[in-house]
Structures are given as C-alpha cells and as structure tokens.
C-alpha cells in the first residue's frame, strides 16, 4: 500500500445508486416511522390507539457508490484501488491509514491483528464511507476484510457499498510482497492472513475479480464485473498501462 493519508482524488459528484449488496440498518425504537401504541389500559377519553403493523425501516438516505476492494496483503487492493478511483474520478483511501498506532506497531512486529484490534479499524473505515456519502462523494477504499463478519461491518446499513474481492494465487502474492518496497507489512505475515481468510461464497454478493497481468487490466475487469462502467464519464482518464 501507499499510505499517504491524504485524499488521492477529488472530483465530480455522482448520481446515487439504488441498493446493492448489503443490509439496511434497522430503525431503533425511537426513530421516526415507529408506531407508538400508547400506555396499555388507557381509560381516559382518548380512544385507544389502533394496533398497526410496524412500518418498514426508513430507507437509508441515497448515497453515491462506494467500492471496497478486499483481499489479502499483496493482492493489489491499493494499486488497483487507486487506479480505479482515478479512472472513475472518485476519491480513494487505503484502509491502512485508519489503523491505530498500536495496530501498526503490532503488524510491524510481525504479530497478526486480533478481531478486537480490527474492530475499531473497521468502524473507522465505515465512518469514512459514511462521511463521503454524506458529502455526496463516491469513493473507493482498500481494506483486507478477510472475514465475512468484517465485511458485514462494512456493508451493514450501507447499501451503496460494493465489495470486490481480488483473486490472486498465493505464490504470486508472496513474490509481489517481497518485491514491494517501503511497506510495514512483511511478506512473512502473509501466511497469517491466508490462514484466517474466509473467501467470499457466492451468496455473499461479493464481486470476484481475478488479478490480471497488469493493474490496468484488473481495473478494466473490476469496472465490468462490478457494473461500474456506467459511472465512467465521457472523456474519463484512459488506462495508462503501468507496466505491472
């Protein structure tokens, strides 16, 4: 990953999309749209409230699309994600920038993160997606999201989220990680990621894209498989083959 911690791209607002993979956040008891039945045994002049079926939860506010590229370290989330965002004119963030200093220190010390370590990190990424949505900004984020429960955190209440899993043979992952410079996440940690990886199964609604010989080709495949071509503006930046 290239952890610049800044917005890689800003650009045009896009038309919101309808529900994609994901689940709507349920309304809480105090949220609008809930029917109060009033106190039971009411014997004053007020007629008792007529029980009514609960209303469906309010539809989440429309938000522009958010693409989350998932996969183990070295699968190309950062490289492909940044390029994808550039093609679309959307904003990009690398999930690593949301890690706490403690998490970074742990990974640097070759210790795999626990569920508890990842929980606030996933919440931060979700908040970032929410904030971009409120700002009307479509976005791409790279986040390993190795377990289904992590993916559920990211998509819960965010129907605009499209998860894209980058599929790369494990022997190629290690080669890539060994060649990658200036990254705190060592190739030796790959085994721990593969050990806990829960590959998305078909019913999960995760788009799966095989890594192509170059990142630019993989971006083309992501655009096609995840139905993102509709968001390419006429005259959008054409793929510049980066040579890897």
Ligand X SMILES: Nc1ncnc2c1ncn2[C@@H]1O[C@H](COP(=O)(O)OP(=O)(O)O)[C@@H](O)[C@H]1O
Ligand Y SMILES: O=C(O)[C@H](O)[C@@H](O)[C@H](O)[C@H](O)COP(=O)(O)O
**Which residues contact ligand X (rule: CB under 6 A)?**
1, 71, 73-80, 142, 176, 180, 211-215, 218, 244
Question: Can you tell me the distance from the alpha carbon of 106 to that of 19, in angstroms, rounded to the nearest whole number?
Answer: 37
- Kindly report the CA angle at 28 between 23 and 31, in degrees rounded to 5? 110
- Provide the minimum distance between the beta carbon of 158 and ligand Y in the complex, in angstroms, as a whole number: 19
- Provide the minimum distance between the beta carbon of 158 and ligand X in the complex, in angstroms, as a whole number: 21
Residue 1 within binding range of ligand Y, rule CB under 6 A: yes
Cβ proximity to ligand Y, 117 vs 204, nearer residue: 117
Nearest residue (beta carbon) to ligand X: 76
CB 1, CB 142: distance < 8 Å:
yes
Question: Of ligand X, ligand Y, none, which one does residue 211 interact with (CB within 5 to 8 Å by kind)?
Answer: ligand X
CB 146, CB 196: distance < 8 Å:
yes
Q: Which residue has the tokens 């993916």?
A: 151
Beta bridge partners of 27: none
Of 80, 113, 164, 228, the residue at the interface with ligand Y (CB under 6 A) is 113
Beta bridge partners of 167: 210
Residues within the interface to ligand Y (CB under 6 A): 1, 73, 77-78, 95-96, 107, 113, 118, 144, 146, 185, 193
């Amino acid at each position: 990953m290239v952890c610049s911690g800044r917005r890689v791209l800003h650009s045009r607002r896009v038309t919101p999309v309808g529900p994609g993979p994901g689940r709507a956040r349920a309304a809480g008891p105090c949220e609008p749209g809930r029917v109060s039945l009033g106190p039971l045994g009411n014997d004053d002049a007020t007629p008792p409230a007529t029980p009514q079926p609960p209303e469906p939860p309010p539809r989440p506010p429309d938000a522009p699309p958010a693409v989350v590229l998932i996969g183990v370290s070295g699968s190309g989330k950062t490289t492909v994600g940044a390029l994808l965002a550039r093609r679309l004119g959307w904003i990009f963030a690398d999930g690593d920038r949301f890690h706490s200093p403690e998490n970074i220190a742990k990974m640097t010390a070759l210790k795999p993160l626990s569920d508890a370590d990842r929980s606030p990190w996933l919440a931060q990424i979700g908040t970032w997606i929410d904030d971009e949505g409120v700002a009307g900004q479509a976005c791409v984020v790279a986040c390993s999201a190795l377990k289904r429960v992590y993916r559920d955190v990211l998509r819960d209440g965010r129907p605009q989220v499209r998860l894209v899993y980058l599929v790369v043979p494990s022997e190629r992952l290690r080669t890539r990680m060994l060649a990658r410079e200036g990254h705190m996440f060592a190739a030796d940690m790959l085994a721990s990621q593969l050990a806990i990886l829960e590959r998305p199964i078909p019913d999960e609604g995760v788009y799966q894209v095989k890594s192509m010989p170059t990142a630019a080709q993989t971006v083309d495949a992501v655009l096609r498989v995840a139905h993102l071509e509709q968001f390419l503006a006429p005259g959008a930046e054409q793929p510049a083959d980066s040579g890897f």
